[in-house]
């Protein structure tokens, strides 16, 4: 057990945005909410999964909707607490601790802000090891743990309790409600016992985010290039270097969907990279080569600072490095690929691990 202060929050926000693969919400908004909560309520207690009692009730907190909406529709700061209170009332039991459902700029921060407000500890675990756009895309779903009962709340004070027959229906119903509630809501989801979280969750995700954020911060302070060290920490691969030459982005069906094109620079000169995203980057390819595809992670980093660029933050002319990171082994199972592989999103490509694609790409080039 340890306590998180302001510097740890700053680092976690940056690292979470990187693992968020372009999605998971605006890291700046999430960071501000958490820093304000620490200012008001004090440091946040962080537990390892081994410190959670076997029968304790743990519930994930976060945001669902389109990240682009958050630019104009800022949260009030009370939605997550109201969702938790609604769920506690339905379950008739107090929540022992919260945890992030995914790694993402906002969705790694919201559980921390909520924990400070409610005096709860946060568990260093999540259900994705990255960010995914849909609620059932969690290791908990792979292991048969239900997403519901869940509660969602908006900034206007509306709170809905949802209980469904399975997690796919939870995604459909909650997404429809989210659209009606303005395109983004905060949730309390995946209530479970401590023993289930230990068995099914991805451990030490906040520590990894903090390590990545610290690496990027120190590189900026020391005027060094951080990307090589980022690749070492994540076992990742450099996929492309270039300049953004086109961005097509729209908000529909509760997601930020679109494509971005990059013109190759340096050793990639003469190639054009296309990124496709649904909140998160899902596929990266040139005219000739597939570079990386979901469920492996695709992150876009500023070429000079290594700071991650979200899908809503992509701008024409930005010079960036695109990296690929191997996903957690659970996503490489048959059920994992069925749940969030390229076929689920309508891409007519076969999933190949990023390390295999990287070797193949080197050989071809």
| Nearest CA among 177, 186, 216 for reference residue 306 | 216
User: pLDDT of 286-336, one tens digit each?
Assistant: 999 999 999 999 999 999 999 999 988 899 999 999 999 999 999 999 999
What is the fold, at CATH topology level, of the domain defined by 2-203?
Answer: CV3147-like fold (3.40.1610)
Query: From CA 149, how far away is CA 91, in angstroms rounded?
Result: 9
Q: Are 24 and 67 in contact (CB under 8 A)?
A: yes
User: pLDDT of 1-23, one tens digit each?
Assistant: 899 999 999 999 999 999 999 98
User: pLDDT of 59-78, one tens digit each?
Assistant: 999 999 877 776 677 777 78
User: pLDDT of 229-287, one tens digit each?
Assistant: 999 999 999 999 999 999 998 888 778 889 999 999 999 999 999 999 998 999 999 99
**Could you report how far apart the first and last alpha carbons of the chain are, in Å?**
48
Q: What residues contact residue 105 under an 8 Å CB cut-off, 6+ apart? A: 13, 16, 17, 20, 24, 25, 26, 27, 28, 30, 31, 308, 310
3-state secondary structure of 71: helix
- The residues spanned by each domain of the chain are 2-203, 225-364
What is the fold, at CATH topology level, of the domain defined by 225-364?
Answer: CV3147-like (2.40.390)
Query: From CA 131, how far away is CA 256, in angstroms rounded?
Result: 14
User: pLDDT of 175-199, one tens digit each?
Assistant: 999 999 999 999 999 999 999 999 9
3-state secondary structure of 178: helix
């Amino acid at each position: 057990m340890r306590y998180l202060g302001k510097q740890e929050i700053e680092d976690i926000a940056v690292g979470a945005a990187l693992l968020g693969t372009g999605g998971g919400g605006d890291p700046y908004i999430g960071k501000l909410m958490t820093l304000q909560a620490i200012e008001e309520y004090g440091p946040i207690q962080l537990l390892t999964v081994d410190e959670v009692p076997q029968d304790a009730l743990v519930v994930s907190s976060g945001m669902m909707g389109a990240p682009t909406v958050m630019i104009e529709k800022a949260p009030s700061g009370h939605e997550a607490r109201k969702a938790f209170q609604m769920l506690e009332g339905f379950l008739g039991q107090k929540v022992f601790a919260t945890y992030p459902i995914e790694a993402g700029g906002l969705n790694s921060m919201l559980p921390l802000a909520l924990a400070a407000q409610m005096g709860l500890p946060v568990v260093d675990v999540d259900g994705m090891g990255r960010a995914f756009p849909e609620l059932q895309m969690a290791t908990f779903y792979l292991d048969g743990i239900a997403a519901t009962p869940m509660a969602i709340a908006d900034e206007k004070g509306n709170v809905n309790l949802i209980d469904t027959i399975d997690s796919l229906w939870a995604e459909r119903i909650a997404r429809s409600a989210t659209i009606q509630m303005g395109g983004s809501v905060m949730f309390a989801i995946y209530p479970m016992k401590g023993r289930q979280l230990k068995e099914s969750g991805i451990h030490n995700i906040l520590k990894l985010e903090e390590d990545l954020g610290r690496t990027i911060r120190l590189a900026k302070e020391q005027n060094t290039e951080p990307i090589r060290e980022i690749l070492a920490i994540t076992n990742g691969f450099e996929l492309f270097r270039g300049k953004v030459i086109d961005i097509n982005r729209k908000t529909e069906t509760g997601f930020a969907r679109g494509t971005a094109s990059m013109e190759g620079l340096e050793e990639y000169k003469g190639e054009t990279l296309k990124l496709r995203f649904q909140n998160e980057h899902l596929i990266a390819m040139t005219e000739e080569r597939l570079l990386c595809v979901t469920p492996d992670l695709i992150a876009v980093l500023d070429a000079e600072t290594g700071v991650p660029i979200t899908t809503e933050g992509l701008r024409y002319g930005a010079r960036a490095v695109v990296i690929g990171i191997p996903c957690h082994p659970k996503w490489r199972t048959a059920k994992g690929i069925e749940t969030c592989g390229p076929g689920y999103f309508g891409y007519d490509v076969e999933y190949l691990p990023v390390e295999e694609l990287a070797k193949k790409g080197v050989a071809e080039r």
